[in-house]
Amino acid sequence: MGTDLVKPGLSWSRSRSAVFNACRRQYFYKHHLSWDGWNHDAPERRRLAYRLSKMTSFPFLAGIAAHEAIRRTLCSVRDGRPLRMSSVDVARDVIKRVKDGAVGRGWLQRPKAYPPLEEYYYDGNPSPEERERWWKVAKSSVEAFTASPLFAWIRRSNPADWLAVDEPANYDNPEVFEIDGCRVWCRPDFAMRWRDKCLIFDWKTGSPKDDDRRQLHAYALHARACWGFDTSNIRTVAVHLGEFGVLRRAFKVTRDALDAVEADIRGELFEMRKAESAGDVEEHWALATDAAACTRCFFREICPAVSAVPAHKRTEVRERFTGEPV
């Protein structure tokens, strides 16, 4: 399928990199075909790609809810005003809002405000145990954070020294740096100035991943480029949160480490640019060679490698034959 709209400029982020490395076709759906799909008069396939690009799943949602609760908790400390609800209730509210929107198919009209949830969209009706499991991940992460000595220490610090509080990516924000003319989006969850040091924290609700070191070092690049810190004065810490409490993993920042991550990002941007020069023809973007990549891919409804039938279409077909809602 050809496209003729102006595409967004090439940029690098951890999530974009993950999609690119998982599957070129998935990258095409997420970063090209979905473009302009928010317009009601866009072609149906483009609108579908946009809907699927907004999809989330319980594991992601647990992380999103915990991050939002921590962000709002820190903002309330910074702004000197109490939260209108407890931190745990903020997380609960995020999950409920997304779940209710997904069940009510709010994504039919407004996928950005009401993203589809993979477990409802494809699987139909996730079990209460499954929902409970991920709610516990979000809840225990928030509880671990708010009870931690780290949070108590942050509360005692001067908010004037805070450099970042998990603000969403914003094209108007001047605090962004470039590599080879491409924006690199890697703003930390939380960062603050402490004496002559820059302390960078990344909240984690999942288990440690191979890519964590690169992510934290990319944040260090941001601190160096946007806040002017010397490499030797940057500290990065992944903070794992959960039922076990708080587990901190520090990643040493050295000139060699930052040179390596910068070269890595530069190499990926080169590969992305090369892939994009193949054009806007869907078939030019390779399908995943490892079928495991397709198992939980959000685009499996639109992708010919799977052509999954989502739950709402299965229901509609059954209704047509039996006349009864299932």
Give the footprint of ligand SF4 on this chain (CB under 6 A): 23, 25-26, 287-288, 293-294, 297, 299-300, 303, 305-306
Cβ pair 301, 309 in contact under 8 A: yes
- Rounded CA gap, 258 and 198, in Å? 15
Of 179 and 288, CB closest to ligand SF4: 288
Q: Regarding beta strands 234-242 and 197-204, do their DSSP bridges make them parallel or antiparallel, or are they unpaired?
A: parallel
Residue 82, helix vs strand vs coil: coil
**Residue 8 CB, nearest approach to ligand SF4 (Å):** 19
Separation CA 231–CA 197 (nearest Å): 10
CB of 48 to ligand SF4, least distance (A): 13
- Angle of helix 128-146 versus helix 58-79 axis, rounded to 10: 30
CB closer to ligand SF4, 190 vs 285:
285
Q: Which is nearer to ligand SF4, 23 or 253 (CB)?
A: 23
Assess contact for 70 and 77: CB atoms under 8 A.
no
Report the amino acid identity of residue 208: P
Taking the least distance from each CB to ligand SF4, the nearer of 68 and 118 is 118
Smallest gap from residue 35 Cβ to ligand SF4 (A): 16
Residue 110 vs 296, nearer CB to ligand SF4: 296
Distance of closest approach, residue 25 Cβ to ligand SF4, in angstroms: 4
Mapped onto helix, strand or coil, the DSSP state of residue 224 is helix
Closest CB 208 distance from ligand SF4, rounded Å: 24
CB-nearer residue toward ligand SF4: 185 or 299: 299
Tell me whether residue 32 or residue 71 sits nearer to ligand SF4 (CB atom).
32
Pairing of strands 182-185, 11-13: parallel
For the bound state, the minimum distance from the C-beta of residue 52 to ligand SF4, rounded and expressed in Å, comes to: 10
Q: What is the DSSP secondary-structure string of 120-175?
A: HHTTSS--HHHHHHHHHHHHHHHHHHHTSHHHHHHHHS-GGGEEEE-PPP-TT-S-
CA dihedral angle for residue 146, residue 126, residue 115, residue 323, rounded to 10 degrees? -150
Q: Which C-beta is closer to ligand SF4: that of 165 or that of 297?
A: 297
Q: Which residues contact 20 (CB under 8 A, 6 or more apart)?
A: 27, 268, 271, 272, 275
Nearest distance in Å: CB 306, ligand SF4: 5
Output the smallest distance, CB 213 to ligand SF4, in A: 25
Instruction: Name the token pair of 235.
Output: 């500290």
Calpha distance 163→218 (Å, rounded): 16
